[in-house]
Structure 1
């Protein structure tokens, strides 16, 4: 179960980063701010994935 969820999480993080990159290009976010945007989005998505795993684990 955990291996399937890890593969799913990596897939989700990859595409979220791809969409974040497109957003930065489209909105013309400066290079120095892009790092903060990526970091914030990655942390929030990771928290979401961990909470989803915990919810699945305990149901």
Structure 2
């Protein structure tokens, strides 16, 4: 099950980064701030994915 979750997590991170790039282009966010936007969104999504994995792990016990 862990392999499926890792595959799904990588896909989600890739798609979220694609959407973030679109957001930066549409909102015309300056280049120097785009790194901060990507970092913040990636950290928040990673926390969400880790907490989801832990919840699934303890729910199956």
- TM-score between both structures, scaled by the size of structure 2: 0.96
Runs of 5+ consecutive residues of structure 1 not aligned to the other structure: none
Q: Give the match for residue 7 of structure 1.
A: 7
Q: Which residue of 1 aligns with 2:33?
A: 33
Q: Is there any run of 5+ residues in structure 2 with no aligned partner, and where? A: none
Question: Which stretches of structure 1, 4 residues or longer, exceed 6 Å deviation after superposition?
Answer: none
Q: TM-score normalised to the size of structure 1?
A: 0.99
The alignment of Structure 1 onto Structure 2 pairs a total of residues equal to: 59
In 1, the alpha carbon distance for the partners of 2:32 and 2:56 equals 37
